[in-house]
Structure 1
Amino acid sequence: MPTALITGASRGVGAAVAHALAPTHDLLLLARPSDALTAVAGELDATAVAVDLTDHATVAQAVGAVTDLDVVVHSAGIASSLRPVAETSAAEWRELMEINVVAAAELTRLLLPALRAAGGHVVFLNSGAGQRVNPGWTPYAASKFALRALADGLRGEEPSLRVTSIYPGRIDTDMQREIVAREGGDYDPSQFLTAGTVAAAVAAAVAAPADAHPTDVTLRPRAH
C-alpha cells in the first residue's frame, strides 16, 4: 500500500484523516507525545512518531529514514487568542507562524526527496481564515494566508507533486469548543462541520485519479 504521513494525528481532524486513509494507506502519525497518539496508532496499526513539530532537529532525526512516502497531510495547527491587532503580542504572532507555517514548511522540505521519488501529494489543512480576515482573527488569518502561499508556491516549484489546500469552515472539535468559549457563546455542534466530513474531503483529494490535480477545496457548514 502507499504510505501517508499525517501531522496533528492524535485528535480532531488529524485523527479523523488517519481513520479515513487507514484502509488505503500505511500510516505514519506525527504528533506531540500523548496517550491519545498511542491509542490512535494502536487502533489503526500505524506507526506513531512522537515529536514536537517545532523542534526541527528532532523532527529531522525522526523522519530521516523515510524514503517511501506518497502523501503528507499537514493537519497540526493552533488557533489564536482572538484579540485585535492592538492587543496581540509579538510572542503570539511568532507562535502562530512557527506552528501553523514554519513547522509545515520545514517538514515538507525534509520530506521532499521521498515525495519527489513517488510523485507524491501534499495536503495542507488550511481554514476559511486563509481566504478572508474577520476582526479579532487577524494574527491567525495571517498564518493561514501564509500557509496558502506556501502551498501555492510549492505547487509551482514542484511540478511532479500534487499540492492541495483544504479550506474548511468551523469544525466541531475540542479546539472549536475553546474558541466558542472565548467568544462567550453557546456551543452547538450542529452549526459546524464534523471532523469526519473534512477528513472525507482530504481522502477524496488523495484518491482523485492521477490525471487530476485538486488544488483548492472549500467546505462550509450547511445552514440549519
Structure 2
Amino acid sequence: MKWTLPNILTTLRLLAAPGLAVMFLYFNRPWADWFALILFLGAAITDWFDGYLARSWKQETKLGAMLDPIADKAMVVIALMVIVGYSSMSPWLVLPTTVILFREVFVTGLREFLGDTAGTLKVTKLAKWKTTFQMVAIAVLFAQGIFEHYLGMSAFGLDSATFERVISGEAADPLGLRWKLAGMEWSGRAGLWLLWVAASLTLITGFDYFRKALPFLREGN
C-alpha cells in the first residue's frame, strides 16, 4: 500500500464518518450539531481535494480507489442515520433516506458478487452528482438542527400566546425568534428538497448499475 497525501486525506475522511455519531454521544446540542456540521463539511471538502491532488500529482492508487467510495458511503449513511434519529421521523425525511440506504447496500452487494468484473460498475458522472446532492442536503439538514435547537432555547419559558405574538410581529423580538424560525423552516425545506433530488438520482443510478450487471447475473455465465 502506498500512503500518499490523497490517500491520507481519504483515510481521515473515512475515520471522520463515525465521528458524526460520536459528536451526539459526548456533546450537548447545539454543540453536537455544530461539531457534526463542521466535521461533515471538512470531510466533504477533502472528498474533492484528495481526488484533485491524486489526479494532478499523478498519485492515483488502488488503495485510494478502494477507500474513496467507502469513505463517501460511510459519511452519507452515518450522517443520515444521525439526522433521522434526532428528527421527528417525518415520512418526507425517512422515505428518501430509506431509498438512499437501500441503494448503497444493493450496489455494494452487486459489486461484491461481480468480483473481478465489478469494473463494469464504474462511477458515472450522474453518480457523482448524486453524491454531491447528498452531501449538500445533509449539510443543510444539520444546519436546520442548529436553528431548531437555538429556537427552542430562546423560546424556553415563553407561553404559546406570547410566542405567537412575537412570531406574528405583534410583539418585540429581542431574542431573535423570527429569524431563527425562518432559518429552521427554510433550511428544513431546502434540505428535504435536496434530499429528494438525491434520492431520485440514487434510484436512476442504482437501476443503471443493475442494468449493467444483468449480463453477469444470468445463469450459465
Larger strand share, 1 or 2: 1
Normalising by structure 2, report the TM-score: 0.29
Higher relative contact order by CA 8 Å / sep ≥ 6: 1 or 2? Answer: 2
Normalising by structure 1, report the TM-score: 0.29
